[in-house]
Amino acid sequence: MNRALTRRTFCAGLALAAGGALVGCSQPALESASTPSTDAPGRTAGGGEARPEIQETTPAEERAPRIMLNDGREIPALGLGTYSLTGDVCTESVYAALQRGYRLIDTAYAYHNEAEVGQAVRRAVADGICAREDIVVTTKLYPSQFSNAEAAIEEALGKLDVGAIDLMLLHHPGDGDAAAYRAMEKHVEAGNIGSVGVSCYYIEEIAAFLPEVNVKPVLVQNEIHPYYQDRDATRHIQSLGIDVQAWYPLGGRGHQDELLGDPVLAAIAEAHGATIAQVILRWNHQNGVIVIPGSSNPDHMTENMGIFDLELTDEEMSRIAALERREKHDWY
């Protein structure tokens, strides 16, 4: 059966609205859907999928606002990063995040947890926590996969098993990256991928890359935190009509303690009755940067989502800008 057709009908079986443009799947759902998978709950006698009643556990106004990407699709301004989350911890963390209003989940081939992320998404949809079309699932191709991108894309679709992949990125530059990206473009046309982008591309990298591809990336995912702000790259990328998303927004593993104990950030947090993590994430948000902090702690997830009730002053934004050290916490 045609790959695009099966991806669309899977989404229909998980309570997608029929006949319209969808965030969760890039093609309209069909009126008559084949059974999407053997473990999907609610199967009817006729072999179709019963439409679960969606009972959102978090009011819409308590979720992250959505940003329009350059291809007309939308993405939440804050999501959950899953780097270092594996096994049941990953599944339960993603499920807990979806319960708490998260609608953006970031994974990657290199994280070895795509299957767990997909399991949590399917479970949350089946339990009526959220509708599939409201969730943006992001994954990434690693450079070791670029030489056989078609197989890598199929592998990601199979591991996630959530219908179309909403956003697929190249994890970082490597030999054959443009060819791998063009393979992703074909899957956008086929309906298997919604949007495409890149990660760890800075001014020189994006300048060399754009002439080699047909579809402008919707976003670039880079390391951004108060000790590594890289404002020139961020502003340049944004000036191209490409959104910027921050990985390691809180400094990254092994580096969080100093950042979360910074006296400037602590003073700003105290002035607002907020946490330092909230101040950092809000600083990114006010700079127009999407954030994907990772966590397995439901309390931290709720705390991070609270940044949309916070507003930093221009003076506070300037004080945070002055913390720039050009201190990169990962190699790419």
Which tens digit of pLDDT belongs to each residue from 167-176?
999 999 999 9
Count the residues in the chain: 332
Domains (range + CATH), the chain: 73-322 (3.20.20.100)
Sheet holding 243-247, edge to edge: 80-81, 104-106, 136-141, 165-170, 193-199, 219-223, 243-247, 289-291
Active-site residue, 111 included: yes
Q: How far apart are CA 152 and CA 146, in angstroms?
A: 8
∠ CA 28-242-265, rounded to 5°: 115
Q: What is the pLDDT of residue 61?
A: 59
pTM as predicted: 0.83
Query: Do the beta carbons of residue 202 and residue 222 sit within 8 Å?
Result: yes
Query: Distance between alpha carbon 241 and the CA centroid of its chain, in Å?
Result: 18
Identify which has the larger pLDDT, 34 or 259: 259
> What pLDDT band is residue 266 in, cutting at 50, 70 and 90?
very high
Residue 56: predicted pLDDT: 62
pLDDT, one tens digit per residue, over 207-235 is 999 999 999 999 999 999 999 999 999 99
* pLDDT for position 36: 27
Mean pLDDT value across the chain: 85
Q: Which of 95, 102, 109, 111 is catalytic?
A: 111
171 annotated as a binding-site residue:
yes
The secondary structure of 300-328 as a DSSP string is HHHHHHGGGG----HHHHHHHHTT-----
* pLDDT value of residue 57: 65
Alpha-carbon gap, residue 268 to 278, rounded angstroms: 10
Q: At 37, which amino acid appears? A: S
Q: Cα(115)–Cα(129) distance, rounded to whole angstroms? A: 19
Q: How large is the C-alpha radius of gyration of the chain?
A: 19
Q: Are 168 and 137 in contact (CB under 8 A)?
A: no
Q: Over the stretch 28-48, which tens digit does the pLDDT of each residue have?
A: 222 222 222 222 222 222 333
Mean per-residue pLDDT for 258-283?
97
- Does position 329 have pLDDT exceeding 70, yes or no? yes
**Position 55 confidence tier, pLDDT thresholds 50, 70, 90:** low
pLDDT at 330: 79
